[in-house]
A and B are shown apart, each in its own frame.
Chain A
């Protein structure tokens, strides 16, 4: 198992940086255990002089973020950045214009990496709201799928705040999610609002982007770090077997730093309970329909001493919150790694394909549709060859996905 990660745009690059440093912190004091070796192989290339190099391609259309990257023990060699100016928060500009400038050099680097080592998965980290990340990202991902149709491509997509970061975020989100949905098999979605909530309850009062990035990186690393026991062959594609339902969401027992001392004793039940509560308390609205959590597929990944017992995970066996048209055996999988993760005694992550995403999709489509019917901001997109028809087909696609999820 080897990963090649791609970080697109401002947001993607910040997260990529934090992700690699999380992994580095996780394994740096380990020497030559199986876990260490697997993890090293998975994320890094070791050069002849013994220096580590992140197997990661950084793509941005302006060099502000990448320029300020401090060099650490490991380096980033593959950097595709141009001084072209940002993508103006415009998906069309990134997708149709700026991607041409970077596409060739990216594909070249991918080929070189493939020659070095057998790479099983491509992971793309991007935000859907902006221009560079979502626009250039969608184009590159489409090309990757064309060039390497058999590789496993997965995306980590960061969704914008519902009440606004950018004025064009809803257009960008709809266009990029629709493109990614057709091009790839699975996307892990991170809602900024939920991350922000997690941070505000667990961390301190004044939150910065770095805090959000840390949560995302922690969650991603906790599912993708190696599982050494032989029976556990967890693959994220297990969860996205239906071609309409490709969106996954993560919940993990992110440790509180503020109240660390007061945390209850480290049992799996204590870790799991708050997460399950979030599922139970979910309230969704679609037109007049009231939704309750329905889970299609789920996986639990635990890291730490003692494998959780069946009884502790019994919630996942209950039929109440699961759809009834998938056999039980497929619906739930459990993986365990006995090594600690990031120095925490116990870490638990739940990965689900569920309908909690409905609220986000519904309001994003609603807001974008409002603007679309007023024809606001459309001239920026038409200027870069995104026609009304393309908008309409993207809207149609997203409505289909939303309908699918809300009728689970």
Chain B
């Protein structure tokens, strides 16, 4: 089955990684101790044990396992067989990464794959990119190459980092560029957190713009997570939870778990079998109609383990689909089902909503149903999407569908949706306006220019690159009515008399 290498950079990346690996173990039904069994895992374990076993190599290197007929049920099994996680943990501070070298899971992480330094990157993109990049290039590449050599069927790199900080955005961009150079044929998926709405770092706009420039140029697909969207989802989820259960998890953990579950959903197509094949490589072909326009808005449902019944019926499945495509579950500010008010336009307020949102255009979409979803369901949903989503006149048939047999842990079904839409302009605008205000005053720029290798022109350069891609998305929105006529048939209709061979 398809294999992935997770590269987690910086504090945020490693925190996400910190909740990613326990979730992966849970999905593969590995219990913490010998006696404990995951209650939720059991649903999947009995039904899908073959698929789960077959795809174990997706995230773990099992080349050290001696016997062919392996099966793992708890952590000590993994330890005994020297199973290693396909992960590279990079941070310029020890704090967060140390959770990997101290926790129960520490044996999963190779010593070579943990790269740390002291002190950090001081929230400075230039320091992460230039100083740390050149210093750690050899070490990082060595561990990535050795990890890649252990793969038979590498489907992609998954990079996790935040855009606001120094190490994540700076060193992350550097690694992304190196990967493009060393592994040009392997896809690079970036799950990056944009700290829009809650910038806790004064230089965040600079870092975000500089890192975005690299995303535009070197990434295959980008799944941006806006902090404000994640926060909204977690607050809503907490409200939902509090009514039923007392929520004790911290908001940051909730936000991380959303990112983690999305990643597990996206990679599920490559890891498990399905009736309608969906490989992660296919995302790029299906979702990116023009080069560099690869910022995908993603969402899934159900979010969280508590908020959904496991009863599967036609109506619950459809509700779940609508939820997965609703505005509330999007990782970016975007509303795919915007045209749904069309029949109810009598209401003036709704009319306003319609007008506010209609300025967006959807270029392509994708639905991945996991678990109980059937072909009939998917046909229906695609019809609904084509009716309600503001597709362009040439992109209205551009919906990819996929079916994966194995649902996430504890659920009978789940739905993942991806959209490539012009709403990403909001993100660019939000970012570049703050960038512009800072740059006008030339505030904090001396921290950047003092780093060897950084030129002041880089600020203008990244501004231009982002403006260009924004322009491309803007152009897409303008309906182009000019049509080129189809080719004329080039045959002679007077074939009516011919001999039978």
A260 at the A/B interface (Cβ < 8 Å)? no
Q: Does B226 contact A (CB under 8 A)?
A: no
Distance of A209 Cα from B155 Cα, bound (Å): 25
User: Which segment of A36-44, A79-87, A228-236, A342-350 sits at the interface?
Assistant: A79-87
Q: Which of B50, B287, B376, B399 contacts A207 (CB 8 A)?
A: B376
Q: Bound state CA distance, A407 and B493, in angstroms? A: 8
Question: B40 on the interface (CB 8 Å rule)?
Answer: no
Contact A88 B282, beta carbon cutoff 8 Å = yes
Contact B275 A163 (CB under 8 A): no
Q: Are B379 and A196 in contact (CB under 8 A)?
A: yes
Which residues of B, 391-431, contact A by the 8 Å Cβ criterion? Answer: 393-395, 397-401, 403
Shortest distance between the CB of A359 and any CB in chain B (Å) = 15
Q: Assess whether A241 is interfacial by the CB under 8 Å rule.
A: yes
Within 8 Å by CB of B54, from A65, A67, A165, A196, lies: A67
Residue pair B153, A205 in contact (C-beta under 8 Å)? no
Q: Which of B284, B288, B376, B393 contacts A206 (CB 8 A)?
A: B376
Residues B379 and A161 in contact, CB atoms below 8 Å apart:
yes
Q: Which of A22-30, A176-184, A307-315, A397-405 contacts B (4 or more CB under 8 A)?
A: A397-405
Q: Which of B31-39, B103-111, B142-150, B480-488 contacts A (4 or more CB under 8 A)?
A: B480-488
B interface SS class: loop
**A400-B289 in contact (CB<8A):** no
Q: How far is the CA of A241 from the CA of B498 in the complex (A)?
A: 10
Closest to B153 in A: A83
How many angstroms between the C-alpha atoms of A370 and B489 in the bound complex?
17
**Bound complex: CA of A163 vs CA of B500, how far in Å?**
38
Q: Convert B284-316 into 0s and 1s, putting 1 for each residue whose CB lies closer than 8 angstroms to a CB of A.
A: 111111110000000000000000000000100
Known: A68-B273, A167-B399. A404 touches B285 (CB 8 A): no
Given contacts A376-B290, A399-B487, contact A88 B401 (CB under 8 A): no
| B386 interfacial contact with A, CB 8 Å | yes
* A:82-99 near B, CB below 8 Å: 83-86, 88-90
Cβ-defined contact, A379 with B395, below 8 A: no
Please name all residues of chain B whose beta carbon is closer than 8 Å to the beta carbon of A168 when the two chains form the complex. Answer: 285-286
Instruction: Write out the residue numbers on chain B whose beta carbons fall within 8 Å of the beta carbon of A256.
Output: none
Contact of B490 with A by CB under 8 A: yes
Distance A379 CA – B1 CA, assembled complex (angstroms) = 28
Verify B500–A86 contact, CB threshold 8 A.
no
Known A-B contacts A84-B153, A209-B276, A403-B489; A167 and B382 likewise in contact (beta carbons under 8 Å): no
Q: Is B244 an interface residue (CB 8 A)?
A: no
Q: Which of B153, B377, B382 lies in contact with A163, CB distance below 8 A?
A: B382
Q: A163-B386, A167-B364 are in contact. Are A400 and B496 (CB under 8 A)?
A: no
CA distance A10 to B287 in the complex (A): 21
Residue of B nearest to A9 (CB): B277
Residues in A with CB closer than 8 Å to B483 are: 370, 373
- Which parts of B360-395 form the interface with A (CB within 8 Å)? 364, 374-377, 379, 382-383, 386, 393-395
List, in ascending order, chain A residues with CB within 8 A of B399's CB.
Answer: 164, 167
Is B279 part of the binding interface, using a Cβ–Cβ cutoff of 8 Å?
yes
> Which of B153, B276, B277 counts the most chain A CB atoms within 10 A?
B277
Beta-carbon contact of A167 and B495 below 8 Å = no
Residues of B within 8 A of A207 (CB): 374-376
Give A363 to B15 CA distance when docked, in angstroms: 49
Contact A244 B275 (CB under 8 A): no
> Can you sample 7 A-B contacts with CB below 8 Å?
A62-B2, A131-B285, A162-B397, A165-B400, A170-B397, A206-B374, A376-B289
* Top 6 A-B residue pairs of the complex, sorted by shortest distance between their CB atoms: A403-B489, A83-B153, A376-B289, A86-B279, A209-B275, A10-B277
Q: Give chain B's interface residues, CB within 8 Å of chain A.
A: 1-2, 50-51, 54, 152-155, 273-277, 279, 281-282, 284-291, 314, 364, 374-377, 379, 382-383, 386, 393-395, 397-401, 403, 480, 483-484, 486-491, 493, 495-498, 500-501
Give A contacts to B, CB under 8 Å. 10, 14, 62, 64-65, 67-68, 83-86, 88-90, 130-131, 161-168, 170, 196, 200, 205-212, 241-242, 244, 325-327, 330, 365-367, 369-371, 373-377, 379-380, 392, 395-396, 399-400, 402-404, 407
* Given A131-B282, A163-B386; 17 other pairs, CB 8 A cutoff: A62-B2, A64-B274, A85-B2, A164-B397, A166-B282, A167-B364, A206-B374, A207-B374, A210-B275, A241-B501, A369-B484, A376-B395, A379-B291, A399-B488, A399-B490, A400-B490, A403-B491
